[in-house]
Amino acid sequence: MAKISFHEITKQYPGTSTPAVNAVSFDVAEGSTCMLVGTSGSGKTTLLRMVNRLIEPTSGEIVIDGKNVLQENPIALRRRIGYVIQQVGLFPHLNIAENVRVTAEIAGGWTKQRLDERVDELLELVGLPPAEYRKRFPRQLSGGQQQRVGLARALATDPAIMLMDEPFGALDAITRERMQNELLRIQRDVQKTILFVSHDIQEAFKLGEQIAVLDQGKLIQLGTPVDLLAQPANDFVRKLVGGDSILRQLEYLPVIDALENEPETVSSPPWGNVPTILSDATLLQAMLKLLETNAPALAVQDKDTQEKLGFITLASINREITHAHGHKTERTETAI
């Protein structure tokens, strides 16, 4: 695993008046997925491509595990960073096994037997049974299957870092969701440090442990999906992440935001024996469980200690959402 640190990283293209990326600083923790989001032209892809030096920064530093990438050989650097793009870029004249192992062959140091084993491991990992797909050619695969091969190829040399530039953007909605689920499953198994560009906020919320919001080359906010929904840095972030959407708040805000009782009063609940829900559940999950069980409340338990933290009701969920919208309205009116 590897940590990525951006220190005042800037890219100014010749002949332009403003930088494409403007003094951006933040860290991506090792083994985590960080999503880069923002409007078109906000600097997402430029920032991503400076990590493996497909684009050279104008100033600043990008540090991976204590080493400035600008002091490394760019070819050697790229060989140890996986790179997945929307246009998969499979070689049409090579079969699937050959496409997957090409990066490992270029890197060198692999025996033929180990390469064959690695190809089979990776095809299994991305959900393509080797016996069925190893000898096929890209033209015989669907778009989603080709994207899986591209992901397998990027993982071939077991890189600590993966750069992903809207890799699922050209897929239909059903295939896109399947690939997102596949990436989540793979990430649970292999724990790479992933920097992922997306224009889809729903995708960013689903895949990202942290989200970096860019606008006009500047980092506007860095945080978890809940941070961005509950405490957007400004009106731009609020609109981008759908902070005004009640459904989105229900989908992502945790139940502990809407506790009915304080911890010291939970020893004498007014609702008697009610169903429980874990503290990392969302308000939407709590609301659906309340409606499904027809219970007056749910007891909220700490997901680690199982300690009872309080209770949640339909009324407390409604109060939390109303309160959140009230604060947003106040901020907007103040700004006006």
Q: Are residues 224 and 303 in the same domain?
A: no
| Residue 262 binned pLDDT confidence (cut-offs 50, 70, 90) | low
Q: Are residues 177 and 230 in the same domain?
A: yes
Q: How many CA atoms lie within 13 A of 136 on its CB side?
A: 15
Q: Are residues 50 and 188 in the same domain?
A: yes
Q: Are residues 207 and 321 in the same domain?
A: no
Q: Are residues 100 and 229 in the same domain?
A: yes
- How do residues 112-145 score in pLDDT, each as one tens digit? 888 888 889 889 888 889 999 999 999 999 888 8
Q: How far apart are CA 58 and CA 13, in angstroms?
A: 8
Residue 203 corresponds to which amino acid? Answer: E
Q: Are residues 63 and 162 in the same domain?
A: yes
Q: According to the model, what pLDDT value does residue 332 have?
A: 40
Q: How far apart are CA 291 and CA 16, in angstroms?
A: 56
Looking at residues 252-279, what average pLDDT do you find? 76
- How do residues 81-93 score in pLDDT, each as one tens digit? 988 887 778 889 9
Q: According to the model, what pLDDT value does residue 248 have?
A: 79
Q: Are residues 161 and 298 in the same domain?
A: no
**274, 296 Cβ separation under 8 angstroms:** yes
- In degrees to the nearest 10, what's the CA dihedral of 89, 11, 201, 243? 180
Q: Are residues 191 and 159 in the same domain?
A: yes
> Is 193 buried (19+), middle (13-18) or exposed (0-12) by CB count in 10 A?
buried
| Residue 336 binned pLDDT confidence (cut-offs 50, 70, 90) | very low
Of the three residues 241, 257, 281, the one that is the final residue of a domain is 241
- How do residues 293-306 score in pLDDT, each as one tens digit? 888 889 999 988 88
Instruction: Report whether pLDDT(52) > 90.
Output: yes
Q: According to the model, what pLDDT value does residue 93 have?
A: 93
Q: According to the model, what pLDDT value does residue 250 have?
A: 82
**255, 272 Cβ separation under 8 angstroms:** no
Cα-based distances in Å from 151 to 126, 148, 216, 235: 8, 5, 30, 36
Q: How far apart are CA 86 and CA 38, in angstroms?
A: 17
Instruction: Report whether pLDDT(8) > 90.
Output: yes
- The torsion region of residue 38 among left (phi > 0), alpha (psi -120 to 50) and beta comes to left
Rg of the chain, C-alpha, whole Å: 23
> What's the CATH code of the domain at 203?
3.40.50.300
The whole domain housing 24 covers 4-241
